[in-house]
Amino acid sequence: MSEVILECSNVSKEFIQGEKVIKVLNEVQFKLNKGSSLAVLGPSGSGKTTLLHILAGLDAPTTGEITFNNHNLNNLDLNKIAYIRNKYMGFVYQSHHLLPEFDAIENVSLPIIISGASKKEAIDKSTDLLVRVGLEKRLFHRPGELSGGERQRVAVARSLANSPSCLIMDEPTGDLDNKNANSIVKLILDLVEEEKLSLVIATHDINLANNLSNSLNLEIN
């Protein structure tokens, strides 16, 4: 029997705007097994990004529970949630969020150094990851010297920096043209398969969604 790595149980999220209560998520539930993948689909405004933030412990649900690796995030303090997030989760966003003053190796090395590794260990691992994503000739280029597709490849490499068990991605191909988007999709799927990772990805890309184990459709409430 497959082990559940991430469970979302009847999660709802409301925001208060003046006297109005805006319900963004309504009793969302799913289970994700280790090594499985989930596409989160839905129109803009349906709460895809909000759900990802809740799954990662960056936000709390109004009602419902998130369980990751048998830890109920609702019962943990912020420091413990941050520890779990940094150790077991990797993130890729629609915008790459790379530090513009750092080159590719430095951007990927930073979370490794923060986790306690030496600078040499971080550089060695970063180099290996960047080679794996096809950027062996761009190691010392800063984000401004890279194409959109190359910047997103650096972001993918960075998401693997601390050997996570689960990747959470928010529209990683949203800012790319079709050619680069297809290339990034193939890269993500190959890495997930090679590393036996779990994956949750918010996307409008039906081609990507069709290649994943499961899908979750959100609607505007």
- What's the token pair of residue 182? 């297809």
Q: Order of strands, edge to edge, in the sheet holding 198-202? A: 89-92, 166-170, 198-202, 37-41, 214-217
pTM equals: 0.86
Q: Which residue has the tokens 């290996």?
A: 128
Gap between the Cα atoms of 40 and 29, Å rounded: 12
Domains, in order of start, for the chain: 4-217 (3.40.50.300)
Residues of the chain with pLDDT under 50: none
Burial class (CB in 10 A: 0-12, 13-18, 19+), 220: exposed
Structure confidence at residue 113 (pLDDT): 92
* Radius of gyration of the CA atoms of the chain, in A: 17
Taking CA 84 as the corner, what is the angle to CA 102 and CA 165, rounded to the nearest 5 degrees?
Answer: 80
Structure confidence at residue 1 (pLDDT): 54
Gap between the Cα atoms of 193 and 213, Å rounded: 12
Three-class HEC string of the chain: CCCEEEEEEEEEEEEEECCEEEEEEEEEEEEEECCCEEEEECCCCCCHHHHHHHHCCCCCCCEEEEEECCEEHHHCCHHHHHHHHHHHEEEECCCCCCCCCCCHHHHHHHHHHHCCCCHHHHHHHHHHHHHHCCCCCCCCCCHHHCCHHHHHHHHHHHHCCCCCCEEEEECCCCCCCHHHHHHHHHHHHHHHHHHCCEEEEECCCHHHHHCCCEEEECCCC
Gap between the Cα atoms of 108 and 156, Å rounded: 9
Structure confidence at residue 148 (pLDDT): 87
